[in-house]
Amino acid sequence: MSVLASEFDHLVVAAQTLDEGRAWARETLGVEAVGGGKHDGLATHNTLIKLDGKRYLEIIAIDPDADVPNVPRWFGLDTLEVREHIKHGPRLVAWVARCKGALNAIEQLAATHTYSANLVRSASRADFRWRFAFTPNGERIAGGTLPHLIQWDCHTHPSERLPESAVSLTALMLGAPEPEPLAAMLEALHFSDARVQVGQSTASHLVAMLQTPLGSVVLD
């Protein structure tokens, strides 16, 4: 029997426009972001960078050509907090963990007591299909320090279609004034990854350390 679990899937960098995001990838990481596309019904679009293993970095922006969605966009893109955060350039805003172990793994894990992203919706882009756990208001979870959950409902993972980039994740640091609840929630989500570290900070803070063709890069 498979064991219910979640594992690291991707980082999320938000930009005001995808063109800005692509330029940021070249200048900051030394690579070209490729692929991606429009998210049906969510009025967002993205482009991607392969990381090591079955992982990737997503650059996401509001799609100016899409109709206004009926639900809040994910990752807090509609919120003043995130809009201010990315006003001067693309920034790391969230991360995503994929669910495995059961056909309804995401529903089971999203129902975890006190986990705020418990509204599971289906989403798609081209031939990719998945379920995603939203917060009801579209805001990030614990200021972006806790992961959104995803369960892929297709045979191919996006990373498998991306070219090698020589970009890898070396550490993801989750900071909070009281880190114990973060660690407890990760345990409740059956998440374990030595690269993901929980620590104390004066405010909610998400930091990723990457190895890139330009050397070590810190995203926050």
Domains of the chain are: 5-163 (3.10.180.10)
- Furthest C-alpha separation in the chain: 48
Confidence class of residue 16 from pLDDT cuts 50, 70 and 90?
very high
- What's residue 145's pLDDT? 96
- What's residue 118's pLDDT? 85
Calculate ∠ Cα 138-19-216, nearest 5°.
85
- What's residue 70's pLDDT? 83
- Taking 70 as the threshold, does the pLDDT of residue 205 lie above it? yes
Are the C-beta atoms of 136 and 115 separated by less than 8 Å? no
- What's residue 133's pLDDT? 93
pTM over cut 0.85: yes
Overall average pLDDT of the 176-180 stretch: 94
- What's residue 170's pLDDT? 97
- What's residue 27's pLDDT? 98
Strand spans (E) along the chain: 5-14, 34-39, 44-50, 56-62, 91-100, 119-125, 128-134, 148-152, 168-176, 196-200, 205-212, 215-219
Contacts of 197 by beta carbon, 8 Å cutoff, 6+ apart: 171, 172, 173, 174
H helix count then E strand count, the chain: 4, 12
DSSP states of 151-178: EE-SSS-GGGGSPP-S-EEEEEEEEESS
Confidence class of residue 140 from pLDDT cuts 50, 70 and 90?
very high
- What's residue 124's pLDDT? 82
- What's residue 125's pLDDT? 79
